[in-house]
Amino acid sequence: MTLLYASTFADALGKLSHNEQKQVKLTAFDLMTDPKGSGLSLERLNRAGDDKLWSARVSRDLRIILRRDGEDNLLAYVGHHDDAYAWAERRKIVPHERTGAMQIVELVERREETAPLIYAETSEDTPEQSVQPFWALTDDEMLDVGVPRDWLERVREMPEGEVDGLFDRLPAEAAEALLDFATGGKLENHVTKPAEPGADPFAHPDAQRRFRVLDNLEELQAALDAPFEKWAVFLHPAQRELVGRKVTGPTRVTGSAGTGKTIVALHRAVHLAEAADRTRVLLTTFSQELANSLSAKVDLLTQSQLKLRDRITVRPIDQAAIELYAAEFGNLQIAEDTQVRSLIEDAREAGLGGDLTPAFLFEEWIELVDAWGVTDAESYAEIPRIGRRTRLGPLQRESAWAVFDAVRQGLTKRGLVTRAMIYDRLAAWLSDGGTLPFEHVVVDEAQDLTVAQVRFLAKAGKGRADALFLAGDIGQRIFRLPFSWAKLGLDIRGRSHTLKVNYRTSHQIRSVADRLLPPSITDMDGVEEGRRGTVSVFDGPTPVVSLFADEADEITSVAEWLRSCEADGIAAEEIGLLVRSSRQTHRARAAIEEAGLGGQAAPRIANMHDAKGLEFRAVAVMACDDDVLPDPERLSAIGDIGEMQAAFETERHLLYVACTRARDRLLITGLEPGSEFLEDLDPPQVGLR
């Protein structure tokens, strides 16, 4: 007996009320324990598109749609009576004739009965006949990428206005290939290797993105209780290949926001922990909040394998380093930025530093001296000024080092160490034969690693090819200036892989947000991350950018938007209001109060930096004023004028991160004339209200 779980079932289950979901789960458990369905009201659906589809009665009105094949049951869909039966009448579940992958196929003729073609809007000045982007594709070309035969003519006749809805109509692999082709990609890049004759159609990589075999009640419970994202269970073939790949050294997975990098990192950590009974894995990221989120998701993925969960440690990377340092070298006190600034001021008051400003000296300490572990004047005089564009003559370097030497002595006298010093000592310890309590380290949000962290990880990865796995996106780098990983010993060249399918953000939101970044970004080691060819699997409303004469008008408009979200079934806790800094949070709070959505389950307010890694169904990015974004206070504090452009670009990345926290709806607001970054968005959407 086999019980399978389809992504369409997960989607439908998530739309039911909490009490309805509980009833469905009880029926699903009954099917797991008794595949014959004894005691359940099972009914063969004679009008269904597939003669193997049945319904299972959950309650007076709720029905589960099953595909029954011998003692194998597939949970295909769930819904209220009429909705469930209508879904079954328009679907068949069959292997694709060319690829061999099991697909859920919507019947063309049934769709035409219920949903007529939607053509692009026309005007009196434009011809009514729309462009048909797939008219020249042959049957073989489309069959090779998984288009069902019944849909070949329909796809050829499809007007350009329907392209964005491909994922609603076709199996994902076919929709992905066609959408990439329509936006300039090559169809041959998506050709799937056919399954071997007699192979299980559910085992095909394309089938596994929509079906999962459940081996026991614990797995079923995990899948039903908290599908934190259906794509955490139903992996894309590119994701699945990266999870299980045998590697030859440190490996990185990249991709724009929403392409599932974190999901791959999670599954990779679990996969590595499964390799041997004593294997231990550190899964880490840069903040406590993200670590908490990762930990909860690991719990879900390993709910039926508790011993496996014990072998995966989830920590913020700084906490993991502090714990390791304390275990090896004893307790420590960490120097905060305010203490370093104070020591610099003391040195300046003592006549050190020449004409160099405190702001410049602090940045030089953070970005170069402390980051790169410079400990003497000779090293400081010779080190390349990576990331620093202001040139210093010999006398200026001598003056600067006098300050830094005083800072180091001050830290030692007070028994303080910086975070960079912690990593430096751990790296030296590893070089001298120290060993980590982990065989593998998996890093999420790796684009914001510091110099010292990368140097430490490079040492931690010595000795085994699969020790390091990193997930990150250069376009979301918001905390660090760029630097070379390879020069620090962490070389991922030739082992960097880009994900192209966006599961979290609608096509409309992704398209608008991507305008904030170039089509491709190259890191300091020459590794290029391209955004061309990325496709989203669902559609949504077009993002709106609105500018206002004053804060009161902005607050009122956002309050109206909040009420409209609530009216459309978006819960308050599924909404995020994001601002550049705490200086603008009063505007977000006022909008929530005016909308009447305060209380325990209120929309979340967060600074853009703190929103990294979060996601919401709806997001309003507020206070995008010209004197807020980019942050003038941050720019004015930069002592190295050459770094101004790099800091400016990280501010642009910050807006990109904020916009891509949204799944379905995005509103961007500010005071006229608005942030200069808004000019890069779709101009017709920007207007003064």
Fold matches, 238-326+424-505 and 541-688: yes
Q: Where are the domains of the chain?
A: 3-203, 238-326+424-505, 336-417, 541-688
Kindly give the pairing relationship between strand 251-254 and strand 468-471: parallel
Q: What's the chain's Rg over C-alpha atoms?
A: 28
Average pLDDT over residues 398-424: 95
Average pLDDT over residues 7-32: 84
**Per DSSP, which regions of 372-505 are E strands?**
416-417, 440-444, 468-471, 496-498, 501-502
Average pLDDT over residues 559-574: 92
Sequence-separated contacts (24+) of 287-291 with Cβ below 8 Å: 287/316, 287/612, 287/613, 288/316, 288/319, 289/610, 289/613, 289/614, 290/316, 290/444, 290/445, 290/612, 290/613, 291/315, 291/316, 291/319
Is the sign of the CA dihedral 94, 100, 104, 105 positive or negative? negative
| 3-state class (DSSP) for residue 642 | helix
pLDDT at 117 over 90: no
Domain 238-326+424-505 -> CATH class: alpha beta
| Dist CA 548 CA 555 (whole Å) | 10
pLDDT tens per residue across span 589-627: 999 999 999 777 899 999 998 888 788 999 999 999 999
Query: Peptide bond preceding 683: is omega within 30 degrees of 0, i.e. cis?
Result: no
Residue bearing the bigger pLDDT, 575 or 224:
575
- Residue 122 pLDDT: 41
pLDDT tens per residue across span 334-373: 999 999 999 999 999 999 999 888 988 998 898 889 988 9
According to DSSP, the residues that pair with 72 across neighbouring strands are 69
Fold of the CATH domain 3-203: YaeB-like fold (3.30.2310)
Average pLDDT over residues 232-242: 79
Q: Which of 108-117, 227-236, 281-290, 660-669 has the lowest mean pLDDT?
A: 108-117
According to DSSP, the residues that pair with 536 across neighbouring strands are 502
**Percentage above 90 pLDDT, the chain:** 46
DSSP 162-219: GGGGHHHHS-HHHHHHHHHHHTT--GGGGPPPPPPTT--GGGSTTGGGTEEEE-SHHH
Helix boundaries (H) for 316-418: 317-329, 337-349, 358-364, 377-382, 394-413
Is the sign of the CA dihedral 90, 96, 100, 103 positive or negative? negative
According to DSSP, the residues that pair with 65 across neighbouring strands are 55, 77
- Least Cα distance to 415 among 328, 325, 331 occurs for 331
Longest dimension (CA), the chain: 91
pTM: predicted TM-score of the whole model, two decimal places: 0.78
Domain range 541-688, CATH architecture: 3-Layer(aba) Sandwich (3.40)
Kindly give the pairing relationship between strand 211-214 and strand 468-471: unpaired
Is the sign of the CA dihedral 108, 112, 115, 118 positive or negative? positive
- Residue 114 pLDDT: 43
pLDDT at 112 over 50: no
